[in-house]
Copies of this chain bind each other. A is one copy, B any other.
Amino acid sequence: MITRLSTMFLRTLREDPADAEVPSHKLLVRAGYVRRAAPGVYTWLPLGLKVLRKVETVVREEMNAMGGQELSFPALLPREPYETTNRWNEYGAELFRLQDRRGVDMLLGPTHEEMFTSVVKDLYSSYKDFPVTLYQIQTKYRDEARPRAGVLRGREFIMKDSYSFDMSDAGLEESYQRHRAAYQRIFDRLGLEYVICAATSGAMGGSASEEFLAVSETGEDTFVRSTEGEYAANVEAVVTQPGVERPIEGQPDAVVHETPDSETIETLVNWANDAGVTVEGRAVMAADTLKCIVVKVTEAGAEPELTGVLVPGDREVDMKRLEASLEPATVELASEEDFAKSDFLVKGYVGPVGLAKNGVRVLADPRVVSGTSWITGADEKNRHVVGLVTGRDFTPDGFIEAAEVKEGDPAPEGLGTLTLARGIEIGHIFQLGRKYTEAFDVQILDENGKRAVPTMGSYGVGVSRLVAALAEQYHDEKGLNWPIEVAPFPVHVVIANKDEIAREAAEKLAADLDAAGIEVLIDDRPKVSPGVKFKDAELLGMPLAAILGRSFSDGVIELRQRGGETLEVPAAEIVERIIALVRN
């Protein structure tokens, strides 16, 4: 079927939408692919829907090829299964909850572990039924605090979620690897540049997980790669190399000093160097100080609890890393009010000793090991302590990954240093283990007739988000530039010559391509100038544009490869050339 711009439901915009910041959002709206219906809730207009369906098809084909079986759960779900796993509460404000006409609690599914576990429990009872991989491509709902960038992070979105059930840990590992390979095929087919990163499991639970990040400056995730070796990880999952322990014996006693107006690391370091303090014979650096950040940690259903977080003074606390370390609990910085309420919290002078004395839990960066000596707050206004030794003067209640990761930090196993970049999370694979199957008491008879609990994996692809990720990687200042696998139309025929003969030739070209099974968009708008048509063709971003313009009078059709070179093709050869380009 040939699609005509003269009748297509489309309006391109010359101006960026006011609420758009990232290129994919601007371009998908301007080119008439998507349209906002409510904050974080988007309509797929005809062109956008075509891209979305093509992405879906690639995902479905690869999921079927790896043995996945497709089914489709509702989005409107009962509360009970999510009560069983406590996610009804743990999800917090991100879960859309509602009541039906009888006052029964329901929710809009954010992810479906509970439902898949239940259906496997109900249908299967013998080890002979395993392994099994089930999936759906379905609309999901999460009431994001900050929906962002159009379909990149929406509150209603389309996800492929799959779940593997195996009788053994080795089976789970195999199912996990098959998903990993299928995801690579999916993202390779889509033409995305992506990185597979070690990741945290977050609220999902489970042991191992990896993320697929599409490389993009506008991504919300930061990841690291090592300059040597293959290490890649989301910064949230980067494991800090522990510090080197030192003997405590022989270290000088801690001494409290008057340190007026030294509430920042910078002023503290200046004070120390002015006061002639040295560390191993050299001047004091920020890394010799210990930053003590006070936060409030809230477990689901509990009161917020004060916690001290210790990091070396040359690093900030990375709230996303801290949050990831504490999930599913939520965390926020202590407020002015919290400081006002507790005498021992003296802003700029908080230290681990005062916190511990007052029963506040203290969690330390892994560099704060036994025998390390620090300059830090002395819990009184204008006072700091020098030579506070871990394991002698204070002992953290535990370690935590909270310090920012920096470009140039050592990579694990000594394989060079870390570089930082940003990416869009397009896939996430989890080895969940038995968290959900145990919660639902799934009992399967094993080969010996004994009851066993299957182990589970959970795997997601952000299908609608992939459209945005593709737009991020495939665009230029003029517009979109789709890879052929997902372009709404591989070919855009532009009538840019008023001659009736050109129009007829364009129609024949479109019909010939259509007959060859190639989808065609034809710009047959009668009163639109060639200049506007060219601009729209660049904005809409089909891989090939066949222009029947001025040079058509000389029997030449311009074949513009979006973002690439323009070929001058004799009219008689154009069909053949296009077919060859599309089929490669």
Known A9-B134, A41-B76, A76-B108; judge A119-B70 contact (CB<8 A).
no
- Set of chain B residues within 8 Å of A75, measured between Cβ atoms: 75, 139, 156
CA distance A534 to B59 in the complex (A): 35
CA distance A11 to B129 in the complex (A): 11
- Set of chain B residues within 8 Å of A98, measured between Cβ atoms: 96-98, 108
Known A37-B77, A41-B74; judge A143-B69 contact (CB<8 A).
no
Contact across chains for B155 and A43 when beta carbons are under 8 A apart: no
Is A191 part of the contact surface with B, judged by Cβ < 8 Å? no
From residue 99 to 132 of chain A, which have CB atoms closer than 8 A to chain B? Answer: 100-101, 106, 108, 115, 119, 122-124, 132
From residue 1 to 54 of chain A, which have CB atoms closer than 8 A to chain B? Answer: 1, 7-11, 35, 37-38, 41-46, 48-49, 52
Minimum CB–CB distance for A268 against chain B, Å:
40
Known A75-B156, A93-B101; judge A35-B69 contact (CB<8 A).
no
Beta-carbon nearest neighbor of A130 in chain B: B7
CA distance A141 to B106 in the complex (A): 13
Known A37-B115, A98-B97; judge A43-B69 contact (CB<8 A).
no
Is A78 part of the contact surface with B, judged by Cβ < 8 Å? yes
CA distance A156 to B141 in the complex (A): 15
Is A71 part of the contact surface with B, judged by Cβ < 8 Å? yes
Is A339 part of the contact surface with B, judged by Cβ < 8 Å? no
> Helix, strand, loop or mixed for chain A's interface?
mixed
Is A170 part of the contact surface with B, judged by Cβ < 8 Å? no
Beta-carbon nearest neighbor of A141 in chain B: B76
Minimum CB–CB distance for A449 against chain B, Å:
16
CA distance A10 to B108 in the complex (A): 26
Contact across chains for A71 and B96 when beta carbons are under 8 A apart: no
Known A38-B106, A93-B101, A100-B96; judge A43-B73 contact (CB<8 A).
yes
Is A72 part of the contact surface with B, judged by Cβ < 8 Å? yes
Is A145 part of the contact surface with B, judged by Cβ < 8 Å? yes
Contact across chains for A145 and B43 when beta carbons are under 8 A apart: no
Minimum CB–CB distance for A18 against chain B, Å:
14
CA distance A1 to B43 in the complex (A): 34
Is A298 part of the contact surface with B, judged by Cβ < 8 Å? no
Beta-carbon nearest neighbor of A6 in chain B: B128
CA distance A134 to B1 in the complex (A): 17
Minimum CB–CB distance for A374 against chain B, Å:
40
Contacting A45 at CB < 8 Å: which of B8, B10, B41, B71?
A: B71
Minimum CB–CB distance for A306 against chain B, Å:
25
* Identical subunits present: 2
CA distance A49 to B132 in the complex (A): 18
Is A216 part of the contact surface with B, judged by Cβ < 8 Å? no
Contact across chains for A74 and B132 when beta carbons are under 8 A apart: no
- Set of chain B residues within 8 Å of A52, measured between Cβ atoms: 72
Minimum CB–CB distance for A580 against chain B, Å:
26
- Set of chain B residues within 8 Å of A106, measured between Cβ atoms: 38
Beta-carbon nearest neighbor of A133 in chain B: B9
Contacting A70 at CB < 8 Å: which of B49, B122, B139?
A: B49
Beta-carbon nearest neighbor of A100 in chain B: B143
CA distance A10 to B100 in the complex (A): 31
Contact across chains for B76 and A123 when beta carbons are under 8 A apart: no
Contact across chains for B69 and A115 when beta carbons are under 8 A apart: no
Contact across chains for B74 and A42 when beta carbons are under 8 A apart: yes
Beta-carbon nearest neighbor of A67 in chain B: B7
Is A64 part of the contact surface with B, judged by Cβ < 8 Å? yes
Known A11-B123, A77-B38; judge A115-B156 contact (CB<8 A).
no
- Set of chain B residues within 8 Å of A1, measured between Cβ atoms: 64
Known A64-B1, A123-B11, A139-B139; judge A38-B78 contact (CB<8 A).
yes
- Set of chain B residues within 8 Å of A42, measured between Cβ atoms: 74
Chain A residues near B (Cβ < 8 Å)? 1, 7-11, 35, 37-38, 41-46, 48-49, 52, 64, 69-78, 93-94, 96-98, 100-101, 106, 108, 115, 119, 122-124, 132, 134, 139, 141, 143, 145, 155-156
Can you pick out 29 interface pairs between chain A and chain B where the beta carbons lie within 8 Å of each other? Answer: A9-B69, A11-B124, A35-B122, A37-B78, A37-B115, A38-B74, A38-B76, A38-B78, A38-B106, A41-B77, A41-B78, A43-B71, A43-B72, A43-B74, A43-B119, A44-B71, A45-B71, A46-B71, A48-B71, A49-B71, A52-B72, A74-B156, A76-B141, A76-B156, A93-B101, A94-B101, A98-B108, A100-B143, A101-B143
